[in-house]
Amino acid sequence: MKFNVKKIDLSGVKEFLFQKGERVGLAICGGIAVLLLGVGLLKVGGSGTSYAKDFQSASKNKLTILGQTAEDNVEKPVPKEIKDPWGEALVKFDPAELAPFGDKHDTKRRNPTIFKSQDDEKHIKVDYIRAGYFAYELEKDKAWAFEGGGNEKAAVGVPAAQGAANAGGRHLAKIMNWGRMVVVSSVFPMREQLEEYRKKLRFATLEELLANPDSVPKALGLNVYRCEMKADGKTFTEWSPLFKYNPKKDRIEVAERIDRLFREAYLDEDNAKTLVNHLQPGLATPLPLLANAQYPKLDKLEDIKLVEGEPLDDKQPKGAGADKMMPKKGGIMIPGGKKDAADPVVGDEAKFVLVPWKKLPKELADKFSGSKFDADPFGAKQDKDDAKGPAAMMKDKGPMGVVPMKDGDNPANPNELYDALVRFIDIDVEPGKTYLYSFQVRMKNPNEGRRNDVAFQALADIKELESPFAYSPPVTIPGEFFVYALDQRPNTDLKDGSDTKPARAEAPVPYGQWNTTVQVHRWLKKFTGDLNATVADWAIAERLLVRRGDTIGRYGVNVEIPVWNKSKEAFEIGYHAQKVNVKNKAKHFGGVPVDFVVDAPPPLLVDFEGGWKTQVKIGNSPAIPRDEAAVEMLILTPEGKLILRNSRNDTDLANPAALERNERWDTWRKGVDKLKGGGTTGKGGITMPK
């Protein structure tokens, strides 16, 4: 069977496409474009939910990292000042005039941009403190405490109020540790930050924002890093963390040396009280209580207003709750001891016992174990019932530390809103090194977990917001050994102490025995001889004789220095047993032997010129008295450099180095004289030869 298949003649189509194909293609493309445009218009004109979801899906990773909208990522000028946000305009407010949102129909919340701490020279301060700080004496899981005793006499060195409070109990021993500390203080622009929150969270007024505690800025802590300048003096090492948030453990991890400091140290409450207007939980670490120095004031830091108040009462509390207080004098009262026992024995014969941490009040047990500060070194999570934390200082205030206005308050004198203090501490820095610090503020995202009032859902998935990093100026740690060219009379004549014989730089003494005088200052951490005490202060050899070619300094120079006696809970002049007398009792001499040679090799006196000279007698003229010329010394330093010291420069108080030397000497001398029970006897004058 045969089928006849009729072929379709496409010659006409081919001819048509050849003649009209270009126009047909353009028409089809135009139709598709019109269709897509219509769909887009329908999307825009309809509900914004679908668009927000599509945008979220396409941009989620980027938004999660940045924590901001595309609008937020545009660099915006930050206003330098917000004028009187607490003025009358706070009550009489026109949202259309003072809070233009651009699109008045857009009421969706965005994530605020977190401003960085101000790090210009007017708003940042780096202080170096070299001092002793009060601490608890801790073992692995125990703390040392006085044991209550049957002493009927008043305890030596313990105020009567303290004796009454301690009767029948124990208190933890207080010791002094040494520390080299850097404290970085900066101003956080909280007023500008509040205005940024108001705009992004769509509040009409600051008053409305502050009435919503969940929307005000809440600091979670700081990320802080440190680097050191390399030997070339131009480049720095890699950044190493001091405080760094660990999201897996949900806590701030602290460098071991700082963690140890927080764990063992008493805390300075007076310092915090002067800054109460600027302290916000989450932005400032506590400071250890210094034993023999004071923290520099921040009154020159712009926008920081100190509150001058009475210092903490030195008297011990009485009655209920006394065992939880932290007085300046004496240690913490803890449960234990006999109820009918008298004051603890305090003095050279004091008795100490080890108390397990678990038997201490919970606050101390947490502090010693590290759980308190490991979890919250900046106080962001502190309970307001914590009597010593930053949060407690703000408990009578409203959001951001502002005291709410009450009926009867003068509306013409509204409450002031303060910028916040950013502060952190570093310890165990080394002399001669230069350090640089970087830090950023971490804030809780006020939109976290919200669903219906954010611009798109990705904004609510972000837990915290971070500021850009701010940077401290470089800080170089000064040296701790100084040599000065001067001839100063020793204040106290100690056996094996400073030299008192006159210098000889002329005949009849042989030239090789000519000598001159120097004064040597050394910062001493500890004395490890038979005294075994922490010093954490300057030791000064007021006058040492030195010849050409001799090393400068000497071993075992007896010097009076204040040391902390934990048995007496007081400072005293350090003593050491030097020899045994006929009654077989140790004979004590004032001062302790200090080595004033610390470098290898030590500095060397190459040559000197000047000093006291006898004028030549001419004919029958009367004798001319001795005359003095400024002494110039050529010294070879341990680094192999030659330096020149001049006695005129080292005694002229118009010279900064001489002024620093004199102030250091004067502070040391006054402290020693005070402990000796008298007024200051230091003269500071130049020795006249005998």
Position 43 scores a pLDDT of 57
Mean pLDDT of the chain: 75
Average pLDDT over residues 410-420: 60
171 in the same domain as 185: yes
138 in the same domain as 52: no
217 in the same domain as 292: yes
596 in the same domain as 664: yes
509 in the same domain as 463: no
The answer to the question of residue 470 being in a domain is yes
Q: Give me the residue label for tokens 């609510």.
A: 460
Highest mean pLDDT out of 231-245, 530-544, 600-614: 231-245
What pairs with residue 468 in β-bridges? none
Segment 188-219, tens digit of pLDDT: 999 999 999 999 999 999 999 999 999 999 99
368 in the same domain as 494: no
For residue 130, pLDDT over 60 is answered with yes
Domain boundary among 46, 66, 86: 66
The answer to the question of residue 516 being in a domain is yes
For residue 330, pLDDT over 50 is answered with no
The answer to the question of residue 687 being in a domain is no
pLDDT grade for 444, boundaries at 50, 70 and 90: very high
The answer to the question of residue 207 being in a domain is yes
pLDDT grade for 524, boundaries at 50, 70 and 90: very high
DSSP for 191-210, written as a single string: HHHHHHHHHHTT-SSHHHHH
pLDDT grade for 86, boundaries at 50, 70 and 90: very low
Position 505 scores a pLDDT of 80
pLDDT grade for 271, boundaries at 50, 70 and 90: confident
For residue 182, pLDDT over 90 is answered with yes
Tell me the C-alpha distance between 413 and 411, whole Å.
5
pLDDT grade for 399, boundaries at 50, 70 and 90: very low
Q: How many domains does the chain have?
A: 3
Tokens representing 394 are 């703000």
579 in the same domain as 441: no
Tell me the C-alpha distance between 638 and 636, whole Å.
7
Highest mean pLDDT out of 4-13, 326-335, 485-494: 485-494
Terminal-to-terminal C-alpha distance of the chain:
152
Q: Is the distance from CB of 492 to CB of 590 less than 8 angstroms?
A: yes
Tokens representing 147 are 């044991």
The answer to the question of residue 558 being in a domain is yes
Peptide bond into 601 cis (omega under 30): yes
Least confident among 130-134, 213-217, 284-288, 321-325: 321-325
The answer to the question of residue 82 being in a domain is no
Position 375 scores a pLDDT of 82
399 in the same domain as 339: yes
Highest mean pLDDT out of 42-51, 120-129, 152-161, 162-171: 120-129
Neighbours of 557 (CB within 10 A): 25
Q: Is the distance from CB of 594 to CB of 539 less than 8 angstroms?
A: yes
Domain boundary among 476, 498, 526: 476
Segment 465-474, tens digit of pLDDT: 999 999 999 9
550 in the same domain as 433: no
Q: Is the distance from CB of 187 to CB of 117 less than 8 angstroms?
A: yes
Tell me the C-alpha distance between 595 and 9, whole Å.
117
Domain boundary among 66, 88, 104: 66
Segment 563-583, tens digit of pLDDT: 898 888 888 888 776 555 555
Half-sphere exposure of 2 (CA within 13 A, CB side): 2
Segment 622-646, tens digit of pLDDT: 666 666 788 999 999 998 999 999 9
333 in the same domain as 273: yes
Position 579 scores a pLDDT of 56
What pairs with residue 109 in β-bridges? 454
Position 394 scores a pLDDT of 44
Segment 133-145, tens digit of pLDDT: 999 999 989 999 8
The percent of residues above 70 in pLDDT, for the chain, comes to 66
Angle (CA) 523-524-527 rounded to 5° is 170
The DSSP code for 627 is E
For residue 479, pLDDT over 70 is answered with yes
Tell me the C-alpha distance between 653 and 631, whole Å.
17
Average pLDDT over residues 284-289: 94
Q: Is the distance from CB of 184 to CB of 126 less than 8 angstroms?
A: yes
522 in the same domain as 458: no
231 in the same domain as 164: yes
- When comparing pLDDT for 339 and 351, which is higher? 351
The answer to the question of residue 596 being in a domain is yes
For residue 389, pLDDT over 80 is answered with no
Tell me the C-alpha distance between 237 and 438, whole Å.
13
288: containing domain:
124-405+415-476
The answer to the question of residue 113 being in a domain is no
Angle (CA) 666-671-677 rounded to 5° is 125
